[in-house]
Structure 1
Amino acid sequence: MTQQPSPTQDAASAAKPAGARERATMEDVAHLAGVSLKSVSRVVNREPHVSDTLRAKVEAAIAALSFVPDTAARSLAGSRTFIVGLLFDNPSPNYTMKIQSGVYRACVEQQYHLRIDNIESDRPHAEVEAQLDAIVRNSRCDGFILTPPLTDNIQVLAFLERRNIRYARIAPNSELGRSPCVAIDDAAAGALVARRLWNLGHRRLGVVSGPPLHRAGDRRRTGFLAAIRELDPAVVVAEADGLFSFESGIAAGADLLARDPRPTAIFATNDDSAAGVMVACGRAGLRVPHDISLCGFDDSWVAKSVWPYLTTVYQPIEEMGYVAASLLIDRGETGERQVMLGFHLVERDSLAPPS
Structure 2
Amino acid sequence: MSKAKEGKPTINDVARLAGVSKKTVSRVINRSALLNASTREKVEAVIAELGYVPNPQARALALRRNFLIGLIHDNPNAQMVLGVQEGILSAIRDTEFALVVRPVNRRSPDMLDDVRTFLEQQRLFGVMLLPPISENDALAQLCEELGVTYVRMGSVRLDDDEHMVASNDREAVAKAVAYLVGQGHQRIGFVAGPEGFRSAAERDLGYRDALERARIRLDSAIMAQGNYTFESGIAAGEKLLAASPRPSAIFASNDEMAAGVLHAARSIGMSVPEDLSIIGFDDTAIAAHIWPPLTTVRWPIQAMAKAAAIKLIDPAEARDQPSHFLSDLIERASVAPA
Equivalent residue in structure 2 for 1:166, among 140, 145, 149: 149
Residue 292 of structure 2 corresponds to which residue in structure 1?
A: 308
CA change 1:172–1:138 in 2 (3 A) is farther
User: 2-side partners of 1:96 and 1:37: how far apart?
Assistant: 40
Unaligned runs of 5+ in 2: none
The question of 1:270 aligning with 2:258 is answered no
Residue 21 of structure 2 corresponds to which residue in structure 1?
A: 36
Deviation at 1:323, TM superposition (A): 1.1
Residue 3 of structure 1 corresponds to which residue in structure 2?
A: none
CA change 1:41–1:170 in 2 (3 A) is same
What code does the residue aligned with 1:97 have? L
Residue 63 of structure 1 corresponds to which residue in structure 2?
A: 48
Mapping of residues 92-111 of structure 1, within 5 Å: 92-111=77-96
In the superposition, the TM-score normalised over structure 2's length comes to: 0.93
User: 2-side partners of 1:108 and 1:25: how far apart?
Assistant: 24
Deviations 1:171-212 (A, max 9, x none): 253432285111221111111101111111100001111111
Higher Cα radius of gyration: 1
Residue 78 of structure 1 corresponds to which residue in structure 2?
A: 63
2:72·2:104 contact (CA, 8 Å) conserved in 1?
yes
User: 2-side partners of 1:334 and 1:325: how far apart?
Assistant: 9
Residue 6 of structure 1 corresponds to which residue in structure 2?
A: none
The question of 1:15 aligning with 2:3 is answered yes
Deviations 1:31-88 (A, max 9, x none): 2322221111111111222111111111222222222221112223333321111111
User: 2-side partners of 1:91 and 1:102: how far apart?
Assistant: 18
| Higher alpha-carbon deviation: 106-115 or 91-100 | 106-115
Residue 182 of structure 1 corresponds to which residue in structure 2?
A: 165
Unaligned runs of 5+ in 1: 1-10
2:161·2:323 contact (CA, 8 Å) conserved in 1?
no
1:209·1:242 contact (CA, 8 Å) conserved in 2?
yes
Residue 131 of structure 1 corresponds to which residue in structure 2?
A: 114
2:155·2:166 contact (CA, 8 Å) conserved in 1?
yes
Deviation at 1:236, TM superposition (A): 4.0
2:87·2:304 contact (CA, 8 Å) conserved in 1?
yes
In the superposition, the TM-score normalised over structure 1's length comes to: 0.88
Aligned length: 337
Mapping of residues 1-355 of structure 1, within 5 Å: 11=1, 14-17=2-5, 20-21=6-7, 23-123=8-108, 125=109, 127-171=110-154, 173-177=156-160, 180-234=163-217, 236=219, 238-331=222-315, 334-335=318-319, 339-354=323-338
Deviation at 1:332, TM superposition (A): 7.2
User: 1-side partners of 2:228 and 2:164: how far apart?
Assistant: 22
User: 1-side partners of 2:175 and 2:49: how far apart?
Assistant: 51
Deviation at 1:325, TM superposition (A): 1.1
Identity %, equivalent residues: 37
1:176·1:338 contact (CA, 8 Å) conserved in 2?
no
Deviations 1:108-159 (A, max 9, x none): 3442121111001022x2x213322332243221221101111102342233
What code does the residue aligned with 1:90 have? N
The SS at the match of 2:174 is helix
CA change 1:78–1:128 in 2 (3 A) is closer
1:152·1:173 contact (CA, 8 Å) conserved in 2?
no
CA RMSD of aligned residues (A): 2.0
The SS at the match of 1:167 is strand
User: 2-side partners of 1:309 and 1:337: how far apart?
Assistant: 32
User: 2-side partners of 1:173 and 1:184: how far apart?
Assistant: 6
User: 2-side partners of 1:335 and 1:348: how far apart?
Assistant: 36
2:155·2:168 contact (CA, 8 Å) conserved in 1?
no
User: 1-side partners of 2:63 and 2:142: how far apart?
Assistant: 24
1:168·1:327 contact (CA, 8 Å) conserved in 2?
yes
The SS at the match of 2:223 is strand
